């Protein structure tokens, strides 16, 4: 009986219910998208390996490190493998077409990143072509890159027109793998620099180090930095996750603002929902008094109000969650490579559901208490 009454009450004022559900749907949807944006901001750090270290110049990433450091780092106890990477920063056709490009020591770099899944044939073709490059599947989809295409980048850090041939398209081992990068040969960059700008040759941006035991990362980091202490290019060694978080910290204020906005949206819809339930209770005061006169207790009346609020919240929350997936996909497509990983996580879905549930419960709290305290005489007086 109670369930029938709840369902009838939910759809008694169809327009009001519809508007409330729409508002809640939009709020839950906005909360989900904003939460996904925040998660995407930290995706690089979350996907980092605990067994990889990044060695950079202690002053700034702007200053490179000598190529001679490679062998010295390799000889430090606990270092299993080492590779190099240089941020390139080229422009593809227009400045707005931004995507990460790295000049890497191809063979060792791919060995260090097994999460970049590349077919054996594509890997071999890439390693054999000095001008070869591999791109992530998301980057290829964004710009329509295909194997065999020639891509020209206009250098900014390294001036000039640089031509590359796409030799492979890698996919991600899991959803958190960055598939929006372009990797090409450091040798190609270095040989060109020897001819154009010899002083900039034989240097690298960072060294990527794989350690044999993740439990020793702090010890090995200190050993690497101690090796080059008091040299003209001292190093700062940190875990890959810490390195990624260093970039995120530069935009920490934006992340905090997005979080606040996401919770503000839920608070606003909570206020709207609470007002809706308060109006409902005022309109049905006589009905609740009649139920009391028939012997139904305060708990039954409170159950009706809570049930109605939760039903509306469940409907709006379910619609909001369902719409999150297609809109997140469209948003990620529109953003291109700005967010390398943009996936709606299970945690976001649970938070959306929890927010919808909280809105239903809290919005009915005071109206339900008010209805439960209605006196029969005062309630029936409004009938006359």
Residue-level pLDDT at 234: 93
217-256: per-residue pLDDT in tens?
A: 999 999 999 999 988 899 999 988 888 777 666 666 777 7
> What is the DSSP secondary-structure string of 74-104?
HTSTTEEEEEEEEE---B-SSTT----EEEE
- Over residues 32-43, the mean pLDDT reads 80
Indicate if the pLDDT at residue 382 is higher than 70: no
Torsion angle, CA of 129/66/250/175, rounded to 10 degrees? Answer: 30
Q: Could you read off the pLDDT of 69-96 as tens digits, one per residue?
A: 999 999 999 999 999 999 998 999 888 8
Contact 33, 328 (CB under 8 A): yes
**pLDDT value of residue 47:** 67
329/81 Cα distance (integer angstroms) = 37
Enter the pTM of the model: 0.75
| CA 307/CA 315 separation, integer angstroms | 12
| Maximum Cα interatomic distance, the chain, rounded to a whole number of Å | 98
Residue 251's pLDDT is: 64
């Amino acid at each position: 009986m109670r369930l029938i009454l709840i369902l009838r009450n939910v759809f008694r004022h169809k327009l009001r219910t519809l508007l409330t559900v729409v508002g809640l749907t939009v709020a839950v949807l906005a909360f989900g998208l904003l939460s996904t944006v925040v998660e995407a901001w930290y995706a690089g750090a979350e996907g980092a390996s605990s067994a990889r270290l990044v060695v950079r110049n202690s002053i700034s990433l702007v200053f490179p490190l000598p190529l001679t450091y490679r062998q010295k780092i390799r000889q430090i106890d606990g270092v299993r493998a080492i590779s190099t990477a240089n941020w390139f920063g080229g422009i593809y056709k227009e400045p707005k077409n931004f995507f990460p490009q790295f000049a890497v020591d191809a063979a060792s770099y791919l060995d260090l990143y097994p999460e970049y899944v590349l077919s054996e044939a594509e890997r071999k073709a890439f390693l054999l072509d000095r001008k070869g490059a591999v791109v992530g599947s998301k980057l290829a989809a964004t710009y329509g890159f295909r194997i065999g295409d020639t891509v020209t980048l206009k250098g900014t850090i390294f001036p000039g027109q640089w031509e590359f041939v796409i030799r492979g398209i890698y996919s991600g081992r899991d959803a958190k793998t960055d598939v929006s990068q372009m990797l090409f040969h450091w040798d190609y960059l270095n040989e060109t620099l020897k001819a154009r700008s010899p002083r900039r040759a034989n240097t690298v941006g960072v060294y990527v180090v794989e350690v044999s035991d993740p439990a020793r990362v702090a010890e090995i980091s200190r050993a690497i930095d101690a090796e080059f202490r008091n040299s003209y290019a001292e190093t700062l060694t940190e875990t890959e996750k810490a390195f990624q978080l260093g970039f995120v910290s530069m935009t920490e204020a934006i992340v905090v603002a997005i979080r606040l906005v996401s919770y503000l949206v839920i608070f606003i819809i909570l206020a709207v929902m609470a007002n809706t339930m308060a109006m409902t209770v005022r309109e049905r005061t006589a009905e609740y008094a009649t139920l009391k006169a028939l012997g139904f207790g305060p708990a039954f009346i409170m159950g009706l109000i809570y049930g109605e609020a939760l039903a509306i919240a469940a409907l709006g929350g379910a619609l909001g969650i369902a719409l999150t997936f297609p809109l997140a996909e469209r948003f990620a497509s529109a953003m291109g490579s700005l967010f390398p990983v943009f996936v709606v996580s299970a945690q976001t879905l649970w938070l959306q559901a929890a927010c919808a549930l909280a809105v239903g419960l809290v919005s009915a709290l005071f109206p339900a208490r008010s209805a439960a305290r209605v006196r029969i005489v005062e309630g029936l007086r409004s009938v006359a």
